[in-house]
Amino acid sequence: PLVTTADLVARAQSAGHGVAAFNVITLEHAEAIAAGAERAGTPAILQISENAVRYHGGALRPLAAATVAVAEGSGADLSIHLDHVESVDLLHETADAGLSSVMFDASHLEYADNVAATRAAADWAHDRGLYLEAELGKVGGKDGAHAPGVRTDPGEAQAFVAATGVDTLAVAVGSSHAMTDRTSALDLDLVAALAEALPVPLVLHGSSGVPDDQLRAAVGAGMVKINIGTILNVAFTGAVRATLAEDERLVDPRRYLRPAREALADVVAQLAALVGLAGGD
Ligand code: G3H
Ligand code: ZN
């Protein structure tokens, strides 16, 4: 069924576990994430990024409506989140799209501007009962650049949360977006310091590049929402490529999308279980 992100994050946090948030690009992604979560017996967050909305022509509604329908028909508890939103117009489309949370990403702005933009987004979201995530520091990798020296400072993060009223915070602790190998080294002491300093749950971005043992340790140190995108597409596209290579006369997309969807569901099942069982007592 469709549930809210606030509920899933609160449940995970009170149990000391994590909850995985997986990026949806196509309908097959949504179907595979639902199937993988059901198989793992865990909840999951399905997240649609601003980039994915742009890919689908700029309107949120078509992919969001399909994703909501998949969640409603699933046996797993699933929520829908809008990810990495920089456009205020797109933020405002979340009001009646069936989503329960949004990440407003003003991390590219200077601190004071990030605070002002995030405060406005949080006020807007809270007026409509939506849960708001923001980012302080810079996870990096979104433009292909792995910029150093942008980790989140616990004192600044404390002030940021107080000044903006956000519900949850994405922090930069050593991961980077869009990695196709799992070679990130997280600063687990910083994760623990941030978890100690902040009154809100923490979000890890760029989790595809983080090895299993570090993901477990990050949840153990206080990370709650674990965002996973690229590793799904490594599996999905790998399966498409392998299927097409076997038969060059193949034309029916279902013949290559089905194994791709299954490969994606396998990765989801594994990571949803890992994140959902990590931490705790
Ligand atoms: O917001 C989305 C995530 O941070 C996904 O990052 O594609 O590197 O796993 P990733
Ligand atoms: Zn991200």
Write out pLDDT tens, residues 74-83: 999 999 999 9
pTM over 0.95: yes
CB 30, CB 24: distance < 8 Å: yes
pLDDT at 242 over 60: yes
- 168-224 pLDDT tens trace: 999 999 999 999 999 999 999 999 999 999 999 999 999 999 999 999 999 999 999
What is residue 147's three-state secondary structure?
coil
Is 135 annotated to bind ligand? yes
- Would the CB of 228 count as within 6 Å of ligand 1? yes
CA distance 126 to 138: 24
Task: Mention every residue, 6+ apart, whose C-beta is less than 8 A from residue 249.
Answer: none
Does 105 count as an annotated binding residue?
yes
Tally of CB atoms within 10 A around 95: 14
Tokens of 11: 């449940």
Q: Percent of the chain at pLDDT above 90?
A: 93
Asked if 83 is an active-site residue, the reply is yes
* ipTM attached to this prediction: 0.99
| Spatial CA neighbour of 19 closest among 6, 28, 9 | 9
253-278 pLDDT, tens digit each:
999 999 999 999 999 999 999 999 98
Tell the CATH topology of 5-277.
TIM Barrel (3.20.20)
Annotated catalytic residue within 7, 77, 83, 247: 83
pLDDT band at 150 (very low <50, low <70, confident <90, very high): confident
Q: What is the mean pLDDT of residues 5-9?
A: 98
Query: What pLDDT shows up at residue 96?
Result: 87
Element (H, E) at 267: helix 253-277
Q: Which residue has the higher pLDDT, 107 or 160?
A: 160
- Ligand 2 centroid – CA 200 distance (Å): 18
pLDDT at 127: 97
Q: How far is the CA of 216 from the centre of ligand 2 (A)?
A: 19
Question: pLDDT, tens digit, for every residue of 10-28?
Answer: 999 999 999 999 999 999 9
- Give me 78's structure tokens: 């699933």
Going from the C-alpha of 92 to that of each of 25, 51, 164, 257, the distances in angstroms are 20, 16, 18, 33
* Cα–Cα distance, 281 to 278 (Å, whole number): 9
